[in-house]
């Protein structure tokens, strides 16, 4: 039964129908000075465990309207560069008009920052709380980009250059240009992360699944990795966070392990890049880098990935020697049109 539709409930006592009518919840997200904060991730979490949590994206004016049925909800607004804000909402407040959430900017100078260029998987509880405050900015950005893909139809242009250096024969190169349409109505919503790792386990040594930012938030990744305290690079003002494999974790698959550094803008906290190494038996067997750029979207802006480069030594199978694969993937975005809203989580 849809929670968005009116629901008829028969009273056992008088057998009289009771109608729970869906209302439109209007949410407005602004900053500390009252200016709208567009492209904000909004979570609508019902108090009832039987109702699904909803994640939506505000428009450029910071406005979101969504139907809700009777009950209480916790509404949470999350945006890169701002402290999250939340509010309990009931049917009375829904009927009273627009609910306003106010986000305060994260200060550029953070006491939590220290100079440490490697992840420490054994930080104290107090240290971990400070570290997590900026790690959450990474998560917010990933959430927002996921919601953009679920909310907007757009063209994504790719140029892929894949090189392989087999143990037998010379280097092979494949160049492809393509235009893919991101359509929220037809896209496959299944997660990309597979427990088999970043290289193929199907018997082929030539298939590579390039590390993706969404891996940073997957349980299969976070179970075997940790992140360190953020630090500021005095050369360019960026803020950096390192991540690395946890040591001596039972069940950890070497081909699932990477270590690297996330670079964020030191004033907007948007992602600039992720540099990483593939780790096998504690040694580096490949490298990669994801680069981001600010993209104009619906009157606002968001950091989107525009380039992926990397190389990886693939472990030989069936007596074959190892192979080296490398890739360069350039991408751009055009023609954003808001067409849909994500399904409940």
Question: Tokens at residue 92, please?
Answer: 């009375």
80 confidence band (pLDDT: 50, 70, 90): very high
Q: What is the pLDDT of residue 336?
A: 93
Whether the pLDDT of residue 117 is over 90: the answer is no
271 confidence band (pLDDT: 50, 70, 90): very high
Mean pLDDT, rounded, of the chain: 76
Most confident stretch, 115-124, 246-255, 296-305, 315-324: 296-305
265 confidence band (pLDDT: 50, 70, 90): very high
pLDDT tens-digit map of 172-205: 788 999 998 988 877 544 433 333 333 333 333 3
Which among 56, 27, 42 is positioned nearest to 152, based on CA atoms?
56
* 50-55 CB contacts, 8 Å cutoff, 24+ apart: 51/3, 52/3, 52/344, 52/345, 53/344, 53/345, 54/344, 54/345, 55/143, 55/147, 55/342, 55/344, 55/345
Model pTM score: 0.79
Q: What is the pLDDT of residue 331?
A: 94
Instruction: Choose the weakest-confidence range: 31-40, 77-86, 324-333.
Output: 324-333
The structural domains of the chain, ordered by start, are: 7-103 (2.60.40.1120), 125-338 (no CATH)
Place of tokens 């550094």: 261
Q: Work out the average pLDDT over 262-270.
A: 92
246 confidence band (pLDDT: 50, 70, 90): confident
Rounded to an integer, what distance in angstroms lies between the CA atom of residue 227 and that of residue 225? 7
Q: What is the pLDDT of residue 168?
A: 53
Q: Cα-flanking dihedrals φ and ψ of residue 202, to 5°? A: -90, 5
Residue that wins the pLDDT comparison between 219 and 191: 219
pLDDT tens-digit map of 47-66: 876 668 889 999 989 999 88
Rounded to an integer, what distance in angstroms lies between the CA atom of residue 52 and that of residue 4? 11
CA 96-100-105 angle, 5° bins: 170
Burial class of residue 281, CB neighbours in 10 A (0-12, 13-18, 19+): exposed
Q: What is the pLDDT of residue 9?
A: 33
Most confident stretch, 126-130, 217-221, 264-268: 264-268
Place of tokens 């968001």: 302
């Amino acid at each position: 039964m849809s929670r968005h539709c009116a629901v008829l409930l028969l009273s056992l006592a008088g057998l009289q129908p009771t109608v729970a009518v869906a209302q439109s919840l209007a949410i407005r997200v602004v900053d500390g000075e009252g200016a709208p904060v567009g492209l904000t991730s909004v979570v609508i979490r019902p108090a009832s465990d039987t109702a699904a949590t909803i994640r939506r994206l505000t428009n450029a004016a910071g406005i979101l309207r969504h139907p809700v049925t009777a009950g209480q909800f916790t509404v949470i607004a999350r945006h890169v560069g701002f402290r999250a804000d939340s509010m309990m909402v009931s049917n009375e407040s829904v009927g009273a008009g627009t609910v306003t959430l106010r986000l305060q900017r994260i200060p550029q100078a953070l006491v939590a920052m220290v100079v440490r260029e490697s992840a420490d998987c054994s930080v104290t509880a107090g240290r971990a709380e400070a570290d997590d405050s900026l790690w959450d900015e990474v998560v917010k950005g990933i959430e927002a980009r996921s919601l953009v893909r679920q909310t907007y139809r757009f063209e994504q242009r790719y140029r892929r250059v894949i090189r392989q250096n087999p143990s037998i024969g010379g280097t092979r190169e494949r160049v492809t240009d393509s235009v893919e349409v991101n359509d929220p109505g037809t896209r496959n919503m299944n997660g990309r992360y597979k427990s088999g790792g970043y290289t193929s386990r199907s018997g082929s040594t030539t298939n590579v699944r390039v590390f993706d930012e969404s891996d940073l938030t997957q349980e299969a990744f976070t179970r075997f990795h940790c992140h360190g305290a953020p630090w500021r690079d005095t050369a360019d003002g960026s803020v950096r966070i390192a991540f690395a494999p946890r040591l001596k974790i039972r069940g950890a698959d070497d081909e699932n392990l990477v270590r690297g550094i996330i670079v964020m803008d030191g004033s907007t906290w948007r992602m600039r890049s992720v540099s990483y190494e593939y780790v096998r038996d504690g040694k580096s067997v490949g490298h990669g880098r994801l680069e981001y750029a600010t993209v104009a979207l619906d009157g606002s802006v968001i950091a989107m990935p525009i380039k992926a480069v990397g190389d990886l030594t693939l472990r030989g199978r069936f007596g074959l020697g190892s192979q080296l694969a490398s890739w360069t993937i350039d991408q751009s975005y055009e023609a954003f049109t808001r067409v849909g809203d994500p399904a409940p989580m």
